[in-house]
Amino acid sequence: MHRVNPGWKLAAPGAAGGLARWPAPWWQPALTALRLAGWPAIAATLLGLALLLTFQQVVAGVAEQGELARLASAAQVEGDWRCKLLRDRADRDACLAQVAAAHGRR
């Protein structure tokens, strides 16, 4: 049997054509906008921005760790230098042992 499509209605008598279309619901243009071909490009752009932000954070963390390592190395070298300036061998060896222990060396 033939089913009636609820989206169609009979036109008023005397109107051209026999069938007329119901007005589109208010939400239909939003669905049409979601089907645009530009969405993949927008999604790829957002993904690229997220990757760039993540890369920037990783590089900043590595740079900070490098700076801390450089400062620790400089402090260790300065401590060794100060200890080596001592005249007494026992004092010098004790000082070097303290600097080594402070910087995690043996």
Q: Tens digit of pLDDT per residue, the chain (106 long)?
A: 566 665 555 555 555 555 666 777 887 777 777 777 788 888 999 999 999 999 999 999 999 999 999 999 999 999 999 999 999 999 999 999 998 898 886 5
Phi, psi for residue 21 in degrees, rounded to 5: -95, 140
Say whether pTM exceeds 0.75.
no
Strands annotated E in 4-71: 8-10, 19-21
Whether 23 and 14 have beta carbons less than 8 Å apart is answered as no
